[in-house]
Amino acid sequence: MGQDQQSQKKPEQNLSKDLQKNLEVFNRLFQDCDDVIRRPMRLGRDQKVDCFVAYVEVAVSNMMLQDSVIGKLINRMWDMTRDEIYEYIRCNGLGISDVKELPTMETAVAALMAGNAIMFIDGYDKAIKISSKGYPNMGVPKAESEKVLRGSKEGFAEAEKVNTALIRKRIRDPRLKVKEQPIGQRSNTMVALVYMDDLVYPSLLENITARLSEFEIDGVLDSGVIEQLTEENWRSPFPQFQTTERPDRAAMAVLEGRVVLISDNSPVALILPTSYNSFFQASDDYYNRFEIVSFIRVLRYVAAILAMSLPGLYLAVTGFHTQILPTELILSFAEARSGVPFPGVVEILLMELAFELLREAGVRLPGAIGNTIGIVGGLIIGQAAVSANLVSPIVVIVVALTALCSFSIPNEEFSTAFRLLKFFLIFMSAWLGIYGWMAGMLAILIHLSQLKSFGIPYLMPFVASDMNSYHDERDSIVRAPVFRMTRRPIFARRDARIRFRGKHGDKE
């Protein structure tokens, strides 16, 4: 399908020296486009050179001001002859600012749609692109979904140029490369690959570029579309791309030899390749002392396991294997469930679905209402369900603890995998008891062991840790002191993994 569409594309035609011919093509392309402003004018000493400027309204403002780029360009040509105008543009005009010659109508249209001004001159067979501030955006906001106590508060914006600049601000090295390409037949969304030239594997770049060219789509409005179209194992609930809205987190990934994919109109960047362990790392893990960071990471791993397995384990124990519990605890559970008309699996499913609805409502409701609906709604629904003998109090505790554990996972997209697998383990435990729970956990572990992200085992550094001399284990469940983390992770090229040298770093 993609090859057929490519074969049907018309070859690009060069612009004509006749301004009227260019105008006819331009007006035909932008018929009924009232937001595209056209400004005809005459330049030259005797005003004999016709030209016109086109731009998207709002994207380009103050076109005729004295201090604008196009204002300077036009004012200098005002008293020139026709030949002097052509010579000036050819030799000097392109050095005023970000001004570029465009030989075809296709490139001129693409530059116009990107938010630039386009100038056509009679007798000159190239259009002139004058860069501007582009489309309006929100500027640099705060990172909302990845909040930290220590470190930068900046988050990615919705403009690709701003986001690459935020990474460049943190890594001021000419070896930091930004490779751009448009994606989307109609949206022409600009996508940028940001990487360190001396750290990244060339084969990784080739693989990413190949996957981006494997599909054709009308429009890409967010990086999530690219993620879904390029995932190798799309059936897996676990993401093979790490997402972030923090420039410092993206800069850390670049310094590890990974590639950051930034899509225009999206405040979320994609980091690849990734691993299971990477999703448990937060930006401020590297800004705080290793003792507290190690303690918090252990809590995150425990929370992830409980968020996925606690409801199923509760069902397996109370429904099939009560003999493993102390007598007092069994009697307490039995008393709490007295009068409840539903079996345990129905209790769990009712409360889990109620909490998932509260979570979704809290996300969709605006402002302060959304922030309070989760707490207030959970308290009201839980207390009402217990009072009506629909569920037992212990089920409310189990479901609330499960929800709390899922919130402790730093990456929201990663935590959704545990929320889905939670229901899988509930059904397995309700069917086979503890054996079903263990079979479900084993199936998940086998699935994780088979996953790869662009050739990197998903369970690194818990598997194949000898590939990097066991150094990746120093930044896993327990984080070593900074001076002991002397090597970059396995993502970086083998000959460029030393990142720290010092009197402490030499002590292995």
Residue whose tokens read 């090859």:
3
For residue range 417-446, what is the model confidence (pLDDT) as tens digits? Answer: 999 999 999 999 999 999 999 999 999 999
Burial class, 328, CB count within 10 angstroms (exposed 0-12 / middle 13-18 / buried 19+): exposed
Look up residue 30 and give its two tokens. 């932008």
Is the pLDDT score of 501 beyond 70?
A: yes
For the cut 60, the answer to whether the pLDDT of residue 65 exceeds it is no
- Residue 264 contacts residue 190 (beta carbons within 8 Å): yes
Res 176: pLDDT:
93
* Degrees, nearest 5: CA angle 55-60-61: 125
pLDDT of residue 143: 79
- Helix (H, G, I), strand (E, B), or coil: what is residue 179? strand
User: Are the CB atoms for 278 and 314 separated by under 8 Å?
Assistant: no
Which helix (H) or strand (E) segment holds residue 242: the answer is: strand 242-244
Looking only at the bridges linking them, the beta strands covering 127-130 and 117-121 are antiparallel
pLDDT digits (tens, 9 = 90+) for 176-203: 999 999 999 888 899 999 999 999 999 9
Residue 236 CA, distance from chain mean position: 18
Structure tokens that stand for 356 in this block: 């998932």
Residue 372's pLDDT is 66
pLDDT in tens, 126-164: 888 877 766 766 677 787 788 888 888 899 998 898 899
| CA–CA separation, 374 and 360 (whole Å) | 9
- What pLDDT does residue 360 have? 84
Tell me phi and psi for residue 164, to 5 degrees.
-65, -35
pTM: 0.85
Residue type, 185: Q
Q: What are the residue ranges of helices labelled H in 338-433?
A: 344-364, 367-387, 393-407, 412-432
Q: 117: which residues sit within 8 A by CB, 6+ positions away? A: 53, 54, 55, 60, 63, 70, 129, 130, 132
Residue 375 has pLDDT above 70, yes or no: no
Q: Tokens 């124990």 belong to which residue?
A: 317
Whole-number Å distance between alpha carbons of 41 and 50: 6
Query: Would you list the domain boundaries of the chain?
Result: 13-130, 160-274, 290-456, 460-496
**C-alpha distances out from residue 206 to 212, 213, 243, 493, Å:** 10, 11, 21, 15
Number of separate helices (H) and strands (E) present in the chain: 16, 12
Instruction: Indicate the range of 47-51, 133-137, 337-341 predicted with least confidence.
Output: 133-137
Q: What is the dihedral of CA 495, 496, 501, 504, to 10 degrees?
A: -70
| Share of residues in the chain with pLDDT > 90 (%) | 42
* Poorest-pLDDT segment among 180-189, 272-281, 384-393: 384-393
Can you give the pLDDT at residue 332?
84
The per-residue pLDDT for 70 is: 64
Residue 377 confidence (pLDDT):
73
Average pLDDT on 33-59 reads 82
